[in-house]
Every structure is written in structure tokens, then in C-alpha cells.
Structure 1
Amino acid sequence: MTRQSSHTALLWIVAVGFFMQALDTTIVNTALPSIARSLGAQPLAMQSIVVAYTLTMALLTPASGWLADRFGTRRVYFVAILVFVVGSLCCASAHSLNQLVVARVLQGIGGSMLLPIGRLAVLRSVTGEAYVSALAVISIAGQVGPILGPTLGGWFVESISWHWIFLINVPIGALGLAAVHRYLPDDAIADSPPFDFVGGGLLSLCMVAFSVALDSPVEEHRAAVAAGLFVISALAALAYIPHARRRRNPLFQLALFREPNFSVGLIGNLVCRIGSSAVPFLLPLLMQLELGYSPLHSGLMMLPAAFAGTVAKGWIAPLVKRYGYDTFLLVNTILVGASIVGFAAFSPGTPLVLEIAILAVFGACNSMQFAAMNSVTLKGLSIRDAGSGNSLFSMVQMLAIGLGVSIGGGLVQVFDGRFGSAALGFKLSFVCVGLITLASALVFRRLDASPRPAQSAAAVR
């Protein structure tokens, strides 16, 4: 096989892994009401299967680079796909909500390594300007997944059963396993530094405690438990600081935060994504439970947002070049937040054209928001800090998705219990998560605008 053919095969393998991970993040949402009925659970209680998946990915993403160095990208990527497929089979076989949550954790273990190790494999095999083109090819798979996910999930639910939203990963994964065994290089590094298990444990404790506190049922006697978990989360984060100062090779260097735009971008990403990540979870539930849409119909309604997001990616470079990251993110964040608030207007009497317009605006602005936030957060890091910074950034992205789902679902339950109306609960929840996104505009005002970028980054969502 020629070198060019080997590179092409590698890109296809990584793209398939990225596609599986991106598809699985979105395909579940339109099937949640059907899964809830099948398992005898409340639809809003299904947020735990989304949070379990994204939180697991957030916890394990930092270890992916070390695993690839220690055991080689071929072995680790093979195991990642295998675990993801086994987890998918367990999801399809679940007979209760608790079983499905455990299966989603197993699926998240495999999914956490697909994208970062795939990127690393490409980086080690493709150099120079070809690397940017290679990342662009991989990013297409990440765009196709969210486009197909909601519609495919709705079609499976109506035509076959919800189990097929997980079983679809089996044939794709089988092809991936065969291709990985044949084409990926065995590139283990014998003298790789030891992994920072203490640092990883502290950050994991911080994220898990914070997420569980937010996901706790809204009951008076649980308030003390939630408060205790928030305290544990804060103490774990604070304990990491002296640990990182003492250790020679900590999980994340504290020097990362000396780059001002990295700190601002990380906080802005977390706040902004909490709001925007609640939308893919809440919208299908609103459409099916309150507007009377079928699963397929609600999946099709997500297409305007997906297509608009794909088209808008081409607008980022000229807009950022003309206005700079600070002005662009300030204005675009306001548009994203306003469009999320606009979802509160969805009702049985809302014109279809208006719904599509709001969805398209959200999809376009949200897509540009992610790409711009990715770029401004990472572009100022040195080559030495880029890998560690990207790993921390990826972890925060996945954490924000889980937090968005927990907060969005929790708000609906709070407002429903307070006012006795699920429809009003959805409306007020969209207003609240939209305001959370708008609040991130205040964070982006602190960006260092000089010097202005010459071009937009090629960051992959």
C-alpha cells in the first residue's frame, strides 16, 4: 500500500469514529419519550442517560493522550471502538433506566477516546499543511452526525424500535475494528511520562460532585446533600492547585491560565455551552410532549438548525477577520441567547415558518459560536502547552453538555411543580437557559482584542 493510500485509510477510520461519537450524542434525544415509555420512566428523568454519557467522556478524555503514548494509537483506538460497540449492545439490551445509565457509562468510556486519539493518530501520520486539510475532512463527519442524528433517531423509533439507535453502531464499529487492525500504526512511546492519577482523581471528584449536586431531585431534604456536594467539588478543585505546583508533570499545567484568553475562553465556553447544550435535550421533549409531534417530525424539525450550522461555518473567517474575536463573540453570543429565548414562543399555534426561522438562526449562530470560542481559547497557547490546553478544553466542553442537560431538565421540573403546567415549565426553562447563554457575553467582553487575528482558526467542534 502506498503512503498516500495509507493516509486516506487513516482519515476514513478517524472520520468513522468521529461520526459514531457525534451521531450518538444527538440520535438519542428524539427517542427519549419512547425510551421512557418502554422503561416505565418519566421523560424528564431520562436526562440521566445523557449526563452519564457526557460526564464519563469528560472524566476520561484527559487520559486518552497518555494511553495512546503508553500503548500505541492502534491498540487504544481498537479498544475504544470495541468498548463503544459493547456499550451500544448493552444499551439496546437494557430493561430499566438504571441498566441503561450503566450501559451509557460503558459507551462513554469508549466514546471518550474516539476523537482525541483519532486526532493524535492523524497528527503523528500527517504533517505540515496536509494536517489542516486532514482535520477538515474529519470535521465533515462531525457535522454529518448531528444532521442525521435527530431524524434518524425519530425514524428508528417510528419504523422499528428505539433499540436501533444503539444497534446502528454495531456494523459501523465492526468495519472500524477491521480497518484499525489493518491500517493504524503501532506507535507506542516506551519512555512516556507517568500519568497524574492524583490530579485526575481530584478533577474527576470535582466534576462528579458538581454534576450530581445539580442533578439531585428538587426536594427540601436534599438541599443539604447538594450543598455538601458543591463544597466537596470546590475543595477538590482548590486541592489541585498545590498538587499541580508540586508535581513535575501534572495533568494540566497551571501555566495554561497565564494566557488570558485561554482563561476567559474556558469560562465563556462553559457558561455559553450550558445554555446551548440544553436545547437539543429540551426541544424534542417539548415538541413530542406538548406540541404533539411524532418522533420523526420532531427529528425533521431539527434539520434547519443542522443545515444552517453547516452553511454558517463558511462565514466565520471573514467575520472574525473584519470585527475581531471580541466584537464577534459579543454580538454572536447575544444572538444565540436570544434565539434560545425565542424557543419559549413555540406552541401549537406558532406558524411553522417562524419555528423554522428561529431554529435556523440558532443553528447558524451556535455553529459559529462554537468554532470562534474554540479558536480564541486555544490560539494563544504555546506549542508546548497546546496539547494539555486542548485536553482541558475538550473536558470542559463535555462537562458543559452534561450540565446543560441537568440544568435544563431540572428547571422544567421545578417550574412544572411550581405552576402545575409542563408547557409553562418548558417556556420558562428556555428563557432561563437563554439568559445563561447571554451572561457569557459579559465573560467574552474580557477578551484581549490585540493583536487581531489574521485568519479564523480551523478548530473542530
Structure 2
Amino acid sequence: MITVDTEDPGTKEGVTMSAPRRNTKFLMFMIHVNYAIYGMSSHLQGGAFPFVSKKLGVDPTTWGYLQTTIAIAQLAGCPIFGRFGDLYGSRAAMTLTFVGMMVENLLVVMSFSGGIPLLFISRAPMLFIHPMTAFQMAASDLSDEKSRADALAKLNIVSTAGRILGPTIAGWLVEQYGESFTCLVAASMSGLCVALVWGFIPASTKLVDEETAETSSQKKTSLFDYREILRLLRIPVVAEILGIKMFCSVAFFLLNSMMPIIQMEVFKMSPQEYGYFGTYLGIVYLICFSCVSPLTKRFSDINVMRISEIFVTIGDFGLALSNNYWQAGLAFLPRCFGDGILATMINSGLSKGVSAQDTGGVMGLSLSAGHVPHMITPPIAAYLFETFGYRAIGVSCFAINSAMTVYLLRRKDAPST
């Protein structure tokens, strides 16, 4: 461990950092560059995967099982991955994620010869793919409490920039060169991220004073120590915010797990139209993340959460009434706006509720809280879609978010206080 004097206003003097001397602004820049490339890479594969599945004869029910497989892998890996980041640092966590993405893309390409079973196997690397945990941990480590929500929002902005370009490029690549080539391009971009991480990201981004560093090194526990996870869950603020996220995620995954099927089967979108729609949603998210900083400066955390949840509820109501993708696009405006802001406020509140040494663990728990519903909802969504039509999914999401809106309106202060 070495002592680093930094002139950045967001850090304290006499900071201990387990890495060579780095400028905080440069670190944030490189984190943003890698996260933007990740956003583009993930949406390249995301744009190709539904069409790979369709060519292999995947029906809505099997698609639901695929989504459940993803949720199980992510749920199993999230808490351990967060602990991995806390113990071994951001560089190791980011490297593990991007190597997992490379393997995942290559397995998708191989599924054309291996069929649906290999398509399921291609979801296994998701056990190690948790870029959001790794990057949010790094951003939380390099920001103070007052600027935490803004730092996380900026991280989402650069990821959304990749999301805007990714679906459009994916749609064009799929139509011109096929799904396999698109996945190979995504794999090569993940390889580029590995090189950038090893070239510019220090072993650890955590900034702590020397006394805290010595104490934490003495208490360093096993990667699989479940008591550390239980310790975080016993913190009242963490438990309540995770509960809010889990409840909201039920509605989110009810719709999102079936959205590719709805777009292809109900709205009859071509690969390029599918890509354009994804780009449109990316632009909406980009706008919403840009609003986080002015909203948090003007309103309290609880009021920002209330406003965002009201927008999500309005969007779900509009989706239940949509007859084509133009109407669905209008309904997604308030839904994406509210969802993006609420997710940022939840992660900000979680990071404020724990010490700097636990940011990776709590971010891993945050994603786990989302993946529990993700594991359960796809078969339910597939049943609703095949039995009652896609409107039933919109109505269900509207009912769930209406209940959460009432809860937040009745609460007097923010969970993070």
C-alpha cells in the first residue's frame, strides 16, 4: 500500500490506494470509455440474440426459460462477484466480466451448429458477467456522498451512448453479414476492453485512510463468506432499498423479458426496425440520466423517487393500451425516464448506506435483488402473453407500480436517511 496525494476536490489528502499514482479524473475517464464500449458490445449481441433464437426455433415458452437461465446465473454470481471486487479490486473484476462476455459471444456463434442446448449453455458465462457491479463500485469509490448520484448517472449516460449506437449497428450487421459476424464483433470489443483495463485501470480504486486500510486488511475474509453478505443485509437502509428494488423489478422483468418476442411477433419488426427502436430507447435513457443531477439538486431523494415511480406507472398504463410500435414508443417515454432515474437513486442510496470497503458487495446485492424477480417472471410473462396477449403484461406492470407509488407517497423521508 502506498500513500497518494491527489488534488481532486472529491478526495481527501493522505489517501491510501493499492495502485500506482493515478489522477481521479483520468480514472473516471477511462472507466467511462470502457463502460461505453461495454454498452455497445452488449447491445450488439443483444440485437443479434433474438434472431439467432428465432432461427433455431425458440418459441415464447422456451424464450422464457432462456431468460430464467440468465437470471439464475446472474443471481448466483452477483453477491460473490461484489465480494470479489471488494477483495481483489476493480481491475480483476472488470477483467473477469469482459473475458466472460467474450466466451458468451463465441458460444452464441457455436450454437448454430449445436442447436438450442448450446444456446442455453451460452448463458452460463453470465455467472461471471457483472459489468454494472464492477463499474458502479469503481464510480462509488471515486466520488463523495454529495456527488454519488451524479457520478452514477454519468456512468449510465456513457453506457447509454453505447446503447444508442449498439442496436442500430447490430441491426445493420445482422442484415448485411448475419448474426454470427455480429457476435464476433461484440467478442472483439470485449477483448479491447480487457486490454484497456489492464493498461489504464489500477488494481484497486478504493480510497481509504491508512488506519482504515490496515483494519480492513486484518479483517479480510473469504470470498465465499456468507456472513459478510448477511451483515450487509442486516443494515436497515440496505434491506429496505433492496426490498423496493426487488418489488419494482417484478414489473420491469415482466415486460422486458418478453419485449423482444412482442416486438417480433406482435409489432412485426425487422432487424433494422428492432435496432432503431433500441436506439430510440437509448436516447430516452440518455435524456433521463442527464436529468438526475438537476433533479437531485432541486428536490429531496424521496421526492425524486416519487416522481420517477409515477412516470413508470404512467408508462405501463400507456403500454397496456398500445396497438403498434409507434404507440409503444410513446408509452416508453415516461417509463424509461422514470425507470432510469429510480435505478440511479436506488444505487446511490445503497452506496451511501455502507462504508467504502463494502461498495462492491452492496452493488452485487443490488443486482441480486433485481435478478430474483428476473428468475421468476419470464415463465409468468410467457404464460400471460400466450394466454391473454401482451396487454395483460402491461396491466400487471401498471398494478405493481401503482402499489409502489402509493408506498413511496406515504413514506415521509427517503430510505437513505
TM-score normalised over the length of structure 1: 0.70
Are 2:255 and 1:279 equivalent residues in the alignment? yes
Are 2:207 and 1:193 equivalent residues in the alignment? no
Change (3 A) 1:312 1:408: same
Which of 87, 103, 123 is matched with 1:104 structurally?
123
Change (3 A) 1:89 1:59: same
| Cα separation, 2, equivalents of 1:184 and 1:37 | 39
Which of 332, 343, 347 is matched with 1:374 structurally?
347
What residue identity is the alignment partner of 2:284?
Answer: A
| Cα separation, 2, equivalents of 1:110 and 1:434 | 33
Change (3 A) 1:428 1:103: same
Assess if the C-alpha contact under 8 Å between 1:256 and 1:385 holds in 2.
Answer: no
Change (3 A) 1:36 1:175: closer
Assess if the C-alpha contact under 8 Å between 1:287 and 1:298 holds in 2.
Answer: yes
Are 2:384 and 1:437 equivalent residues in the alignment? no
- The alpha carbon displacement at 1:336 in A equals 1.0
- The alpha carbon displacement at 1:191 in A equals 5.3
**Structure-1 residue corresponding to 2:84:** 67
What residue identity is the alignment partner of 1:93?
Answer: M
Structure 1 residues 420-431: aligned runs within 5 Å: 424-431=388-395
Structure with more relative contact order (C-alpha pairs < 8 Å, separation 6 or more): 2
Deviations 1:360-384 (A, max 9, x none): 2222222222223333455444657
What residue identity is the alignment partner of 1:250?
Answer: E
**Secondary structure of residue in 2 paired with 1:193:** coil
Assess if the C-alpha contact under 8 Å between 1:33 and 1:43 holds in 2.
Answer: no
Deviations 1:224-251 (A, max 9, x none): xxxxxxxxxxxxxxxxxxxxxxxxx532
What residue identity is the alignment partner of 2:98?
Answer: I
**Structure-2 residue corresponding to 1:236:** none
Which of 264, 270, 283 is matched with 1:294 structurally?
270
Deviations 1:263-308 (A, max 9, x none): 3322221121221234344333223212322121133124333212
**Structure-1 residue corresponding to 2:239:** 263
| Cα separation, 2, equivalents of 1:162 and 1:170 | 12
For these two proteins, the number of residue pairs brought into alignment is 385
Change (3 A) 1:278 1:160: farther
What residue identity is the alignment partner of 1:370?
Answer: A
Which of 164, 172, 175 is matched with 2:189 structurally?
172
| Cα separation, 2, equivalents of 1:405 and 1:443 | 25
Change (3 A) 1:379 1:143: same
Assess if the C-alpha contact under 8 Å between 1:270 and 1:400 holds in 2.
Answer: yes
**Structure-2 residue corresponding to 1:51:** 68
What's the RMSD between the two structures over aligned residues? Answer: 3.8
**Structure-1 residue corresponding to 2:367:** 394
Assess if the C-alpha contact under 8 Å between 2:350 and 2:363 holds in 1.
Answer: no
Deviations 1:54-97 (A, max 9, x none): 43233222223443455554445434322321222112111322
Assess if the C-alpha contact under 8 Å between 2:79 and 2:229 holds in 1.
Answer: yes
Are 2:286 and 1:313 equivalent residues in the alignment? no
| Cα separation, 2, equivalents of 1:61 and 1:389 | 10
Assess if the C-alpha contact under 8 Å between 1:74 and 1:181 holds in 2.
Answer: yes
Structure 1 residues without counterparts, runs of 5 or longer? 200-248, 416-423, 454-461
> Identity rate of aligned residues, in percent?
18
**Structure-2 residue corresponding to 1:245:** none
Assess if the C-alpha contact under 8 Å between 1:17 and 1:115 holds in 2.
Answer: no
Assess if the C-alpha contact under 8 Å between 2:320 and 2:391 holds in 1.
Answer: yes
Deviations 1:400-442 (A, max 9, x none): 44444443233213x1xxxxxxxx5112122112322222224
Are 2:69 and 1:93 equivalent residues in the alignment? no
Change (3 A) 1:357 1:83: closer
**Structure-2 residue corresponding to 1:146:** 163
Assess if the C-alpha contact under 8 Å between 1:338 and 1:438 holds in 2.
Answer: no
TM-score normalised over the length of structure 2: 0.76
What residue identity is the alignment partner of 2:127?
Answer: I
| Cα separation, 1, equivalents of 2:372 and 2:42 | 13
**Secondary structure of residue in 2 paired with 1:252:** helix
- The alpha carbon displacement at 1:193 in A equals 2.5
Structure 2 residues without counterparts, runs of 5 or longer? 1-19, 206-215
**Which segment is superposed worse, 277-286 or 187-196?**
187-196
Are 2:127 and 1:163 equivalent residues in the alignment? no
- The alpha carbon displacement at 1:253 in A equals 0.8
**Structure-1 residue corresponding to 2:15:** none
Assess if the C-alpha contact under 8 Å between 1:92 and 1:166 holds in 2.
Answer: yes
Assess if the C-alpha contact under 8 Å between 1:32 and 1:43 holds in 2.
Answer: no
Deviations 1:323-353 (A, max 9, x none): 53444433432331231232233325x8x3x
Deviations 1:127-150 (A, max 9, x none): 769996875654333222332343
| Cα separation, 2, equivalents of 1:381 and 1:198 | 18
What residue identity is the alignment partner of 2:342?
Answer: Q
Assess if the C-alpha contact under 8 Å between 2:91 and 2:197 holds in 1.
Answer: yes
Which of 299, 321, 345 is matched with 1:345 structurally?
321
